[in-house]
Structure formats: C-alpha cells, structure tokens
Amino acid sequence: MTRSDSFGETWTRLTEGLAVMAPESLASVRPAVAREGFPLELSELYARCDGTLPTEAGRFLVSGCGLLGVDEAVALRARLVSLVDGPDVEAHWWRPGWVPWAANHDGASCLFVDTGPGPGRGTVGYFFQETGGEAQLWPSLTAFLVALVEAVEEGTPFFGEAPVLHGGALGWD
C-alpha cells in the first residue's frame, strides 16, 4: 500500500474495476447505511455500502466471502462470542474484540478487524471455524482492499487464491 492510498480511493478503485469486469458483483453491493460505534475503516465501509447480497456474485472477496451488512456483522460477532467458553478458546479461537466484516455463506469463515487493545488494533485477520482465527494478516482494512484490488488488476494470487471471472461476477479459485 502506498502512502497516498486511502480507504475512499481504494473503494473507488475496487468499484470502478468491478463495473468494468464484474458488473454482477458490483450490482450485489447494497446501499450505504450510516452507523456509528465501529472503528474508523469499518465506519467508512458502511458509509459506502451495507454489505453485499448473499449471492455468488456478492461473494467477490477471497475464500467465498461477501461483505456483511451492519446487522449481519453484529449477529455473527454475537454468535461467535457466545461460543467462547473459556480463556483457551478466547486466546486461540475467537476474541471478543474481533469484528467480522465479510463472511462466506454460512459464517464458518470470515474476515475480521481487531478492535481489541494492543498492537493488533485495526489489523485484519481471517477466521475459520475449524481452526480459529489468524490475526494481523494485513495492517488495515485499506491494506487488505489494496492487495485484493492489485491481485484482481494483475491477475495474480491473493491469500492463496487466483481471481477468476464467472460471467459478470468476480470469484476466486
């Protein structure tokens, strides 16, 4: 990510790219909602969209993930927090400070922003229900989106998957 990349610039780059190569994926983006109480980058995301429709075209992020709407993110977080039944689970599986912002169709895997205290605050990680969360994979939501957009533009792998077009939808193999 270059110093000049901002969330807004990166979001514009993503949506402009989808408009050209994956219009069905762009059409799956739901209208924005104004929500407070989220970390800055998540607030910026929700100021631009309230997730994507739960369709194949809407799951244009890696690992079959689509953007979660505010209510979906809150519900998934509550469900995952309710499964934490002790410090070992919290330390190695799901932490209450993680906020999901994208998930696959059943929420068994998701991308999250760490809102907890400490050096990982603001970073993006990946959660898989079978193995738990892997924190601090990207330094920010903007950094994640920059890497994703660059992979799509260059046709190179990202997070172990290659971008593919299925008709008018972006997917990953």
pLDDT digits (tens, 9 = 90+) for 121-162: 999 999 999 999 999 999 999 999 999 999 999 999 999 999
Over the chain, what is the mean pLDDT? 92
Examine residue 79 and state whether it is found in any structural domain, yes or no: yes
Examine residue 108 and state whether it is found in any structural domain, yes or no: no
Examine residue 126 and state whether it is found in any structural domain, yes or no: no
Domain that holds residue 42: 7-88+139-172
Examine residue 112 and state whether it is found in any structural domain, yes or no: no
Examine residue 33 and state whether it is found in any structural domain, yes or no: yes
Number of domains in the chain: 1
Write the Ramachandran bin of 150: left for phi over 0, alpha for psi from -120 to 50, otherwise beta: alpha
Examine residue 65 and state whether it is found in any structural domain, yes or no: yes
Examine residue 100 and state whether it is found in any structural domain, yes or no: no
At 38 the pLDDT is 87
Q: Distance between CA 94 and CA 2 in Å, rounded?
A: 31
Would you tell me how many other CB atoms lie within 10 Å of the CB of residue 108? Answer: 12
Q: What is the mean pLDDT of residues 54-69?
A: 96
Q: Give the list of residues 6+ apart from residue 151 with CB closer than 8 angstroms, or none.
A: 157, 158, 163
